[in-house]
Every structure is written in C-alpha cells, then in structure tokens.
Amino acid sequence: MGAGMLDIAETYDRIDREDMFRSIVSLPFQLEKGWELASNLAQDKVGHKTSSFLISGMGGSAIGGDLFKDIIDRYTTFSVNVNRNYVLPRLIGDATLHIAVSYSGNTEESVSSLRDAVRRNIPSIAISSGGEMESISREHGLSFIRMPAGLQPRAAVGYMLGTIIGIATRLSIYDFSKTVMDGIQAARSTIASLSRDVPAEKNEAKMMAEWIGDGTPLIMTTPGLYSLGERMKTQFNENSKRFAWLSVLPELNHNEWIPMMESDISHYRIILLEDCTEHPLMVRRVEVVKKLLSARAEIRTVRLREGNPLSSFIQIMALGDITSYYLAILHNTDPTPVAPIETLKKEISSFTTVG
C-alpha cells in the first residue's frame, strides 16, 4: 500500500476486475430509474389508505428501507419500520403496507416474509429483479416492481431507495417530486468530486481511505443518522472486506464507553456522523464525546449538510460508498466478490432441518 496509489489510473483495472466503481457511480441514474418504475404502481392493488410502511429485506436490499425511514422522518410523521426476519411482526396495523425487497428475488428471509404476508392477507408490494418473489407476486396478484438485473445488491441501493420514494409519492404519502430531482443532482455533483481522476489532495473519499489505512473504521452516529452509519459500516464489510463497527449515541455512552475510555483504541479510525439539527442536549453530548475521544484515537467528522435532507443523505452515502471502494483498492482487494456469503447460502440451502 503506497502513497499516490489511488492516483494511478492503471491500478483500478488491475484490482477492480468486475468494475464495482461503475456500479457505485451509477447512483444518480438508479435513483431516477427507481423513481420512474414506481410511477407505474397500480394503486388499486394496494387496496386501502396507507398509514405506515413495513419494509422487509436483508443486507444491501434492506438498506434502502433504512435510509427511507430516516429520510421521511424529516418531512412527515409517516411511520416506517424495517423487518429483517423470516416472518412479519405479529401485530401489524390495518393500514400497513408491506414492501418486500430482494434485489435477486430469492433472498430466503425476504421470500419467507412475503409468503407470510400472503398467508395473513397483508397488502404487499414486491421489489426485485425477478426470482421467486416475482413468481409469488404473479401467483397472488400482488403489485410487482422489477429492478434492472446484473448488480451486486449493495450496489443497487439507488434503485431500491428511488422506488420506495416513488411509492410514497404515488400513494400521496409525501410528494417527493422536486426533492428527488434535487437529490439526483446532489448525487451527480458529489460523485464527480470523488471520481477516480480527481487527485487525492482534492478528493475527500481518497483522503479518508488513506487516513483509515490499516486501521479499523468505527462509525459513530446519532439515532436519526443510523441508516447512514449502517450503510457505511456494511460497505466497509463488503467492499473493503474489513471489520468495521457502528456505535450509536447516546446509547454507546451507557456501555461501550467503558472500553473506549479504558482500552487501547488507537487502532480505530473514528468517523463521526454529525447533524447540526439535533436536539441541543445531543449537540452538547457529541461535543463532549469528541473532546474526550480525540485524545485516545483519530477522529474525522462528516456533517449532514443543511437544506434538502434527501440530498444530504445521498451525499454522505456516496462518500461512504466510494471511500470503501478506495480502501479496497489500497489493499489490493477486488471490491466485488463476496464468496463467504455465497458459500454460506449454499450450505444453508443444502442443510436439512430436523423436526
């Protein structure tokens, strides 16, 4: 791993053999396409006035739901929950719309959740690129939105987020028409500033990747930015093939704070996601935490920009995604393959449950 490596164009072709970068920087197109796909939603299949969403998904397919939950909370009181289980919660409101998301259409947990919704007659929409979820939707007359295929699920987040935003607008929950266009433009400008041909001294993502180096990323956030922290953590896991941890304030001060203060944490690189609109008590707490931790580990702050929350979320997500990519390149790691996950899926599918 050498200084200046990220400014050598040939490096990328040698390491990024499946061109993950192209998928990452397609985010603006994905958002726009997802938005368009939702415009064809047949409202009559939903069946009733919707007062809340329950979004089922796993991994890269679930993160669009997490992001939407945090984003819409800044615009309206509409309730959104994300389900990461084989079944839906026992208690679901009469006006809850279930949205099952699986990029492949074959994610075991999401397929099971959709079948559970069908058994319980819970209104559902399925989002995938095909697979078993499409078959279930056709069999039971459910609304189905088809994603373009060919990507790693984590690299298709724009399709899924754009589609969910489009569904909310289509169902008159909140009109994101102008907001989403601003978000698409924000994605374009951010990605341009972090592109591979922008030198490291002017490229925030390259600088952050070099700063992390051999350290372990520890993302700290507040509850309202949880989805951004979770996205950043999992991108380090899957793209960089690195351990990364997520700690959420103020809860972390009631447990994790002890080893943070009493153990050697110098190998951590703390990325603090900060929101200037937080409650004054939270703002005060964050400042104290920064002060105390700065003497024990290196910290970088990433601030949510003022203005359109959707645009701000997209900008930070793009920064995290591209940083994780550059960190993989720095360590001569192809960011695309996720062989251990595929091996685990095969093992589970071949295992016969007893009883």
Is position 350 within any domain?
Answer: no
Helices 27-38/309-330 angle, 10° precision: 140
CA distance 208 to 273: 14
Is position 345 within any domain?
Answer: no
Residue 293: which domain range? 5-16+199-330
Let me know whether 206 and 226 are in one domain: yes
Is position 147 within any domain?
Answer: yes
Let me know whether 160 and 244 are in one domain: no
Let me know whether 29 and 155 are in one domain: yes
Helices 157-170/59-72 angle, 10° precision: 40
Is position 353 within any domain?
Answer: no
Let me know whether 170 and 248 are in one domain: no
Let me know whether 266 and 240 are in one domain: yes
Is position 188 within any domain?
Answer: no
Name the token pair of 38: 């939702």
Is position 189 within any domain?
Answer: no
Q: Where residue 307 sits, what CATH number does that domain have?
A: 3.40.50.10490
Let me know whether 150 and 27 are in one domain: yes
Let me know whether 167 and 309 are in one domain: no
Bridge partners of residue 302, in order along the sequence: 273
- Given this model, what pLDDT does residue 40 score? 82
Is position 314 within any domain?
Answer: yes
- Given this model, what pLDDT does residue 44 score? 62
Let me know whether 41 and 111 are in one domain: yes
With a pLDDT cut of 70, the percent of the chain lying above it is: 96
Let me know whether 167 and 313 are in one domain: no
Let me know whether 209 and 138 are in one domain: no
Where the chain has pLDDT below 70, the residues are 1-3, 43-48, 352-355
- Given this model, what pLDDT does residue 355 score? 47
Which of 140, 175, 210 delimits the end of a domain?
A: 175
Is position 35 within any domain?
Answer: yes
Let me know whether 126 and 272 are in one domain: no
CA-nearest of 68, 87, 89, 64 to 79 is 68
Task: Count other C-beta atoms under 10 Å from residue 255's C-beta.
Answer: 10
Q: How many domains does the chain have?
A: 2
pTM of the prediction?
0.95
Let me know whether 238 and 115 are in one domain: no
- Given this model, what pLDDT does residue 48 score? 62
